[in-house]
A = this chain, B = another copy of it.
Amino acid sequence: MKKNSVEVCFSPLVYPLYENPENIVVVVDILRATSSIITAFHNGVERLIPVRTIDEARAYKDRGYLIAAERDGKVLDFADFGNSPDNFTPERIKGRTIVYSTTNGTQAIQMAGHSRQVLVGGFLNISALTAYLQEQHHNVLILCAAWKNKFSLEDSVFAGALTDRLLAGGRFTTICDSAHAARDLWLLAQGDLIGYIDKAANRSRLKKLGLDHAVEYCHTQDVTDVIPVLEGDVLVRLKKL
């Protein structure tokens, strides 16, 4: 049986080197964009529109949309709320459309738009994601949103966790150095994940902003089996056959 490949891209800046229209791309921004997006769909959001710029988000606001937007971990003044998963409560978002713009995550999602399929991944939906990818017969690229294009420890460790599961399933293989490295970091981290990522710059950043409470939640496995998927320019819930 022909195996499919799994690759890991550590920064959106190097994404063009890995880009391939045949790939299924899993975008990951553990702290916190993709963790929040997964939570939003778990809590019943209907559609989520990722936008790159603050101006785009503001234009949607003027048209009456609900806006989640932050930069550098801080909520923008015109936004309805920011990027913490606990903002996305069923009361606020169930059945609604949200416009979402963050420092790193939403830009990575848009960047991958020319692939076969763009999925939103995180520890929160890792088992559902693994099961879905195992059923497809396509190469997988895990795209780390990183921090302003710099390597991010928590995104890379997640990429390693997903790589490890895909390789363990026997249908995937890899000759990608970053996939090997990410997997080794995951194997090192998995026994005490929160302890391990304590040295991550993003963790310190959130602590300083008083947003540390989201860290443990964002590293919890299998809170949901929902997988957000990009359809055109909009994220919706993946309908499994």
Contact = CB atoms under 8 A, between A and B. Distances in A.
Interface of A: 10-11, 13-14, 17-18, 147-153, 156, 175-178, 180-181, 184-185, 188, 199-202, 204
B17 A14 contact: no
A17 B180 contact: no
Contacts of A148: 17
A58 B151 CA distance: 37
Q: For the complex formed by this chain, how many copies does it contain in all?
A: 2
Contact of A177 (B150, B178, B181): B150
A9 to B, nearest CB: 9
A176 B152 CA distance: 9
Given A14-B11, A14-B13, A185-B181, A175 B151 contact: no
A17 B147 CA distance: 11
B149 A177 contact: no
A106 B175 CA distance: 25
A131 to B, nearest CB: 26
A150 B180 contact: no
Given A10-B10, A176-B201, A201-B176, A150 B17 contact: yes
Nearest to A182: B181
B188 A151 contact: no
Contacts of A200: 177, 180
B204 A178 contact: no
B188 A184 contact: yes
28 contacts: A10-B10, A10-B151, A11-B11, A11-B14, A13-B14, A13-B17, A14-B14, A14-B150, A14-B151, A17-B148, A17-B149, A17-B150, A18-B150, A147-B177, A151-B177, A151-B178, A151-B181, A156-B177, A156-B181, A175-B204, A176-B201, A177-B199, A177-B200, A180-B199, A180-B200, A181-B181, A181-B185, A188-B188
